[in-house]
A and B are shown apart, each in its own frame.
Chain A
């Protein structure tokens, strides 16, 4: 693993320019956020292929999906806080139910909206969309993965939602790493417990695993970048082989990755589970690190949950 920072805001502009150069069908929609999203670069390169709809996310999504009926491949961007909350009816009707194409990107999910505060900290976007049919829900942890994801969804017909951090993040994957839609990545193996994480929580999970290693606990860490469909086979394998699971997400635990994983676990191989994420609260102003700590989403909080879940293994109570 390489530890250097990479800006997702840079990636989205560069990656979509590459895709647009290679494929004339690529069309990008935004809702008055070209400066914030990093898509300004794209707009300057391909002014006719970036449709800035202004401040009207719902219409943007309806338009973008409908445009695919005529053969274009529509990407659309807004903040994660608005992508689902403001557009769920259009995502349902014009994209999922109509079986058209839509590649929707929601930036700044959860606490990564930081100083924008509670209104912009979408803790529920994936949960709102989790109940739809015919949609794939993704969250990259790393720039290499994000680039792959953009290309993969461009090349795969259907409806996709990618929630992504817009700020700088550590680098996790080598450039030649291969990924597969619907398949999680085992970042490190372990015997005693599995932490299934996504997005910024992958780094907290890796940090927690190191701390736990010092305490003699062997931790498997999975980057579950595809929330829907979740990698059922991998979840079952982790449950069977490590006997306990902690999920970690930058999202409401009531409807997010944790509940998707729990659904698989309960139905196939019940083992003790604990959940890291946002629980019954709105966001607030703060740095990402500050909010992760305050909302019990930091590495230390994961360590505590792991200790609890290991205590519950074999029917024992913590």
Chain B
């Protein structure tokens, strides 16, 4: 486990995503911070990728079903070298930008699948994983889905058929932070007992702290060894994790920091410690 590297990487991603939203004047920092540690472990320590060859056919795939969290993914791709030097100004959500408010494959190198219409990541991941099996390819397909978007019916169509085809090359990470745009999942309803829902369809279930890098790595390794069924890793996450004033504050679902709030972040996410 690249413990120290992953820690630095996660901090850097948070800082870059925050800066991206601040400079772009638009975006979703809370959802991005929620999955920062998952993205950091995947890209720094697990996924088989080649930043110089983003379309490499045998690479692992990541589908960010909750596309609005993309600043953290853009930051990861930039840090991994998909754009040569790290991107100085992403121009997130600005005119003519490469970095739209939701990911677009073909437009932004390193983006493995277009998203932005919630609920589609699992069906799409199921198709990619099925195609890999049929073509005897050994890449893995990872899907990061929000917990709120599990309200979409098509999610469960995908969950059902992925289990039927025993897609053990498919790993779904559920960003279980308990919030959606309009409020808490408890208020909206319908997304209780996520573990048993997936389990009842025949999925392997792992339930971890979504900010514990070692636990994320261990779960991903366990899912890679799983035979005969897809794996759902339910990740207990804190929306806005990493900045005390953002954590569990749903106002930060979509919000641009003020200059003071942006400056405050430098120390809080330990950006300076790593001389970034």
Contacts and interface: CB of A to CB of B under 8 A. Distances in A.
A54 B161 contact: yes
A94 B124 contact: yes
Contacts of A97: 104, 114
B120 A67 contact: no
B135 interface: yes
A67 B113 CA distance: 11
B132 interface: yes
Contacts of B115: 93
Given A67-B127, A98-B106, A93 B120 contact: yes
A162 B173 CA distance: 36
Given A51-B130, A56-B157, A70 B124 contact: no
Q: Quick one: which of A67, A68, A71 has the most chain B CB within 10 A?
A: A67
B101 interface: no
Contacts of B57: 70-71
Contact of A59 (B106, B123, B128, B165): B123
A69 B129 CA distance: 11
Interface in A21-69: 27, 48-49, 51, 53-54, 56, 58-59, 62-69
Contacts of A66: 113, 123-128, 131
Contacts of A136: none
Contacts of A242: none
Contacts, number: 98
Given A59-B161, A67-B130, A71-B57, A90 B114 contact: no
Contact of A62 (B124, B131, B134): B124
A53 B154 contact: no
A171 B112 CA distance: 45
Contacts of B61: 69
Contacts of A53: 157, 161
A292 to B, nearest CB: 36
Contacts of A63: 123-124, 126-127, 130, 158, 161
Contact of B154 (A58, A64, A65, A98): A58
For the residues of A in contact with B, the DSSP-based class is: helix
Given A54-B161, A66-B113, A59 B134 contact: no
A184 B124 CA distance: 35
B228 interface: no
B127 A89 contact: no
A98 B117 contact: no
B114 A62 contact: no
Contacts of A65: 124, 127
Nearest to A96: B114
Nearest to B106: A99
Interface residues of B, number: 31
A99 B113 CA distance: 10
A68 to B, nearest CB: 8
B128 A67 contact: yes
B116 A64 contact: no
Contact of B120 (A62, A64, A99): A62
A288 B134 CA distance: 41
Contacts of A54: 160-161
B160 A70 contact: no
A58 B137 CA distance: 25
Contacts of B132: 70
A72 interface: yes
B268 interface: no
Q: Quick one: which of B115, B123, B134 has the most chain A CB within 10 A?
A: B123
Given A58-B154, A72-B135, A89 B117 contact: yes
Interface string A94-111: 100111000000000000
B105 interface: yes
Interface in B86-109: 104-106
Contacts of A98: 104-106, 113-114
A51 B126 CA distance: 12
Nearest to A92: B117
Nearest to B137: A70
Interface string B133-163: 0110100000000000000011001101100
Contacts of B124: 62-63, 65-66, 94
A232 to B, nearest CB: 27
A64 B127 contact: yes
Contacts of B106: 98-99
A56 B160 CA distance: 10
Nearest to B104: A97
A92 B115 CA distance: 11
Given A54-B161, A66-B124, A72 B117 contact: no
A51 B133 CA distance: 13
A97 B103 CA distance: 11
Contacts of A58: 123, 153-154, 157
A129 to B, nearest CB: 16
Closest 6 CB pairs of A and B: A66-B127, A63-B127, A59-B157, A62-B123, A70-B131, A56-B157
Given A63-B124, A72-B131, 7 more contacts: A59-B157, A62-B123, A63-B158, A90-B120, A92-B117, A94-B124, A97-B114
Interface of A: 27, 48-49, 51, 53-54, 56, 58-59, 62-72, 89-90, 92-94, 97-99
Interface of B: 57, 61, 104-106, 112-117, 120, 123-128, 130-132, 134-135, 137, 153-154, 157-158, 160-161, 165
14 contacts: A27-B131, A53-B161, A54-B161, A56-B160, A59-B158, A63-B127, A66-B128, A69-B61, A69-B131, A70-B128, A71-B135, A90-B123, A93-B117, A98-B106
